[in-house]
């Protein structure tokens, strides 16, 4: 079954809150900081993760609307992966307006891209193995 809108939103939020947060905690000490302190980088990356979750609900609604015009009512899996770069732009703009000085773009994208890859790979791989009923419930977890 193709994941429903509610299922995609629930899956996105759960994966960001678990896999995304765990990856962020692990990867931040290895990110280029460009003179910023580790707590400042943690603050910016956790905020970025939160913003991705918030904006993601809106993106999922937009994607759902666009998908209604497609024959199979779903995206090709690689297309859903590539949409991550599009989603990064508003998050970067909000972060730049929130944090003074703004987090370096290199640090932001190093975190964003690696987190996106880890969360996406988990969603298309192990998540479907460990949450067996996921696909039969339209992606809904609750």
Per-residue pLDDT of the chain (142 residues; tens, 9 = 90+): 567 888 888 889 999 999 999 999 999 988 887 777 778 888 889 999 999 999 989 988 888 888 888 777 777 777 777 888 888 999 999 988 887 777 888 888 999 999 999 998 998 888 778 877 776 666 666 6
Nearest by Cα to 139 from 8, 25, 24: 8
Q: So what's the pLDDT on residue 137?
A: 63
Q: So what's the pLDDT on residue 22?
A: 96
Q: CA–CA separation, 16 vs 30, rounded Å?
A: 20
Q: So what's the pLDDT on residue 76?
A: 75
- Exposure b/e, 55-80, CB count within 10 A at least 16 = b: bbeebbeebbeeeeeeeeeebeeeee
Q: So what's the pLDDT on residue 106?
A: 86
Q: So what's the pLDDT on residue 117?
A: 92
Q: CA–CA separation, 118 vs 115, rounded Å?
A: 5
Which are the contacts of 3, defined by CB distance < 8 A and separation ≥ 6?
A: 11, 74, 135, 138, 139
Q: So what's the pLDDT on residue 20?
A: 95
């Amino acid at each position: 079954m193709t994941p429903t809108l509610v299922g995609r939103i629930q899956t996105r939020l759960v994966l960001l809150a678990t896999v995304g947060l765990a990856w962020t905690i692990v990867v931040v000490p290895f990110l280029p900081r460009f003179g910023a302190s580790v707590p400042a980088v943690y603050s910016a990356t956790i905020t970025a993760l939160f913003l991705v979750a918030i904006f993601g609900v809106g993106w999922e609604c937009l994607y759902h609307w666009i998908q209604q015009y497609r024959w199979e009512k779903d995206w090709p899996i690689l297309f859903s992966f590539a949409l991550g770069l599009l989603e990064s732009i508003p998050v970067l703009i909000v972060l730049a307006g929130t944090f003074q000085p703004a987090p370096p773009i290199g640090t932001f994208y190093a975190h964003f891209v690696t987190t996106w890859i880890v969360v996406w790979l988990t969603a298309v791989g192990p998540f479907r193995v460990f949450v067996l009923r996921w696909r039969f419930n339209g992606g809904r977890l609750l």
